[in-house]
């Protein structure tokens, strides 16, 4: 709900995409130090500052990807010998830090876009970029169904907890199995109702969606260009001659 209620909710998605993916390009193309660090730090500062995204929400959204990134960097610390043995990689620490820093910077840049731009604002505009209607409609339906399934999952879990379904490991496993079965049945039923509803409304292969008009702010675009240029220049200066 942060993207729907955020301070940048009414900005054009293209503006935010230009800012976020511009910083992402800097994080990928520039050296990890200081390019990726500056790009990720700028994205984090924008999220917590002008975008007014709560730090709690940001940490909650980033905790699983951060765990995945850090655990994925661990194998870089060791090297597999031709004989099949495993030894310490002398260059592993630097490689792990480089990969982790660049991945975390890219994650913050992506969160800058996803935490400020609802998917409902992005999907209808993808058609103007040449994305087939079938792809955007499947994405929109999937996006909607995710929230319905999460709501169903929460309802079933609360009902099971009220019946002491998680008082022990045995009952917890039984409740989880019943929860999966119940959510599957509900998902199947909702999908069938959705198909019947579209057929009754004369669905002919495309859905007409009203897109709220948004104007691109020249000031925001100019500020983004200046910010990206500042990140590049600062990275090159701090990096120094190679």
29-76 pLDDT, tens digit per residue, is 888 888 889 999 999 999 998 988 888 888 888 898 999 988 888 888
Instruction: Answer yes or no: are the C-beta atoms of 214 and 13 closer than 8 Å.
Output: yes
Q: Is the pTM of this model over 0.85?
A: no
How many domains are there within the chain? Answer: 2
Residue 207 lies in a domain: no
Q: In sequence order, which residues have a C-beta less than 8 Å from that of residue 11 and are 6 or more positions away?
A: 116, 214, 217, 220
Domain that holds residue 43: 2-117+213-239
Residue 27 lies in a domain: yes
Say whether both 61 and 107 belong to one domain: yes
Say whether both 145 and 77 belong to one domain: no
Say whether both 73 and 139 belong to one domain: no
Residue 42 lies in a domain: yes
pLDDT tens for residues 195-233? 788 778 777 666 666 677 788 889 999 999 999 999 999
Partner residues linked to 87 by β-bridges: 79
Residue 44 lies in a domain: yes
Lowest mean pLDDT among 22-31, 99-108, 140-149: 140-149
């Amino acid at each position: 709900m942060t993207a729907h209620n955020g301070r940048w909710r009414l900005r054009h998605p293209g503006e935010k995409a230009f800012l976020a993916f511009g910083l992402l390009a800097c994080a990928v193309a520039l050296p990890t130090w200081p390019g990726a660090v500056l790009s990720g730090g700028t994205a984090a500062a924008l999220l917590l500052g002008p975008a007014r995204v709560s730090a709690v929400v940001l940490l909650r959204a980033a905790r699983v990807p951060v765990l995945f990134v850090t655990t994925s960097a661990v194998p870089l610390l060791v090297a597999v010998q031709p004989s099949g043995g495993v030894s310490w990689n002398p260059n592993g620490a630097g490689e792990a830090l480089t990969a982790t820093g660049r991945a975390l910077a890219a994650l913050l840049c992506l969160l800058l876009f996803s935490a400020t731009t609802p998917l409902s604002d992005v999907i209808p505009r993808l058609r103007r970029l040449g994305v087939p209607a079938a792809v955007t409609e499947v994405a929109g339906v999937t996006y909607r169904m995710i929230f319905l399934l999460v709501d169903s999952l929460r309802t079933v879990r609360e009902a099971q907890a009220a019946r002491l379904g998680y008082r022990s490991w045995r009952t917890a496993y039984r409740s989880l199995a019943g929860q999966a079965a119940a959510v599957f049945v509900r998902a199947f039923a909702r999908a069938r109702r959705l198909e019947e509803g579209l057929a009754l409304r004369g669905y002919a292969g495309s859905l007409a969606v009203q897109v709220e008009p948004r104007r691109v702010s020249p000031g925001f675009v100019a500020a983004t260009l200046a910010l990206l240029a500042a990140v590049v220049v600062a990275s090159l200066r701090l990096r120094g001659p190679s």
